[in-house]
Amino acid sequence: MPISQELLDILACPKCITSVVLKERQKGSGLICPACKVMYPIREDIPVMLIDEAIPVGDDGEPKAGYTSEWK
Amino acid sequence: MEKDSVSCLVTGAAGFIGSHLSERLLSLGYCVIGIDSFMDYYPRAVKEKNLLQLKNHPRFSFVEGNLLHFDIGPYLSRVKYVFHQAAQAGVRASWGSSFAVYTENNINATQSLLEACKNLPHIEKFIYASSSSVYGDTPLLPTQEDAPLHPVSPYGVTKLAAEHLCYLYWKNFGIPTVSLRYFTVFGPRQRPDMAIHRFIRSTLRGEPIKVYGDGEQTRDFTFVSDAVEANILAMKYPRSGEVFNIGGGSRITVNKLIELIQTLLNKSVEVQYLRTEKGDVGHTYADTSRAKRELGFSPRMGIQEGLWEEIQWMKDQLFQD
């Protein structure tokens, strides 16, 4: 089940509390924190808002080399 | 999340009791926001299975998050009821260096959640899942809520500390807390480290059952739907700052429990008796007259019927595996 807009409206980066932005990707969607420049993965429709799971992203919002949004 | 339905926040929603509670709330027409950090005390896959019936429900939203590092405020602004089921469970694992995991997840996380509830008068109830472990090894049986509190495990200390936090946040800030002291909850989705789950699994697999102690210790087992119902009853309880024993009324020795399981399964396996583990108590037996009088609580599922339910669930799990 996709994440509701109402939930998306209140999801925030657990580290800096900035609102996150949905980034839909074929290889795995996520929620970008523009301040921390990380993406919190969405796995099986569950937003994973754990600091340890945050994936560094580049300016294009794509995971940096060597990182993946798949399960570790 | 539907805007016209009353919303509830359930922490530990992927867990044993949290997932059942979430389903019950949805069946009553509430919206549920679930949060769980999928702590690795037992396999993630087990908790994911607990969520299977919830995930596609239109009134259920779920976030994987850690209460210690999470802006819970926006969620609390949308809910009327908070069910704080999340905790680091497990009496025997709470010794030694693991204790920090218990203090962080049971005490600090509860404090963090209570802090976030300050100045939110729209929250009608904050229900905390406490534990019979707060009593320790009490000789006062059946045990009433005003019995001395002397936990004999570090886990019990953390559950009691969080209970005290619930009381003082009510006393100081008016957060409408109610604490429910669960007595050994069992049933489908019971955690794999718990005795009934282990005994059924061993019997089904034809493996020896391991008992810590001589098996004459007793437990007041509470079926999960009765524990869930206690939460539902607490929602509308007019007072706060209170604590209630939630016991199933099925007090039985471990030896008798094993006998029942083997009768229901029509199968016997060897029973190995090991040394009593530190932190285990001899007997638990809840006096639930306060819960009956004030909440209207009355357990409905006895030990035999409850074991049958858990056995059927376990058989399905083993078949799927």
pLDDT single digits (tens) B90-143: 998 999 999 999 999 999 999 999 999 999 999 999 999 999 999 999 999 999
| Mean pLDDT of all residues in A27-37 | 94
Q: Determine what percent of chain B is predicted with pLDDT higher than 70.
A: 98
Chain pair A-B, CB pairs under 8 angstroms: 47
Degrees (nearest 5) of the Cα angle B140, B144, B149?
70
A14·B71 Cβ contact <8 A: yes
Tokens representing B280 are 């285990």
- The predicted complex's ipTM stands at 0.90
Structural domain spans, chain A: 5-56
Please classify residue B206 by burial: count the beta carbons closer than 10 Å to its beta carbon, then call 0-12 exposed, 13-18 middle and 19+ buried. Answer: exposed
Question: Cα distance from A35 to chain B (closest Cα, Å)?
Answer: 16
Task: Give Dmax (Cα) for chain B.
Answer: 57
The three-class DSSP label of residue B158 is helix
Residues of B catalogued as catalytic: 155
- Residue indicated by tokens 């809910």: B79
B70 → closest Cβ in A6, A14, A45: A14
B64 → closest Cβ in A10, A15, A48: A48
**pLDDT value for B4:** 57
User: Which of the residues B69, B79, B105 would you substitute to probe the A interface, choosing the one with the greatest number of A C-beta atoms within 10 Å?
Assistant: B69
Task: Please write the tens of the pLDDT for every residue from A52-65.
Answer: 999 999 998 898 88
The interface residues of chain A toward chain B in range 39-68, judged by CB-CB distance below 8 A, are 44-51
Instruction: Give the pTM.
Output: 0.96
DSSP-H helix ranges across chain B:
16-27, 44-50, 52-55, 73-76, 99-102, 109-116, 154-173, 195-205, 224-235, 254-265, 289-295, 303-320
Q: Which CATH number fits domain A5-56: 3.30.2130.10, 3.40.1010.10, 1.10.10.10, 2.20.25.10?
A: 2.20.25.10
Instruction: For chain B, list the domains and their CATH numbers.
Output: 7-320 (3.40.50.720)
- Of B266, B134, B128, B260, which is closest to residue B186 (Cα–Cα)? B260
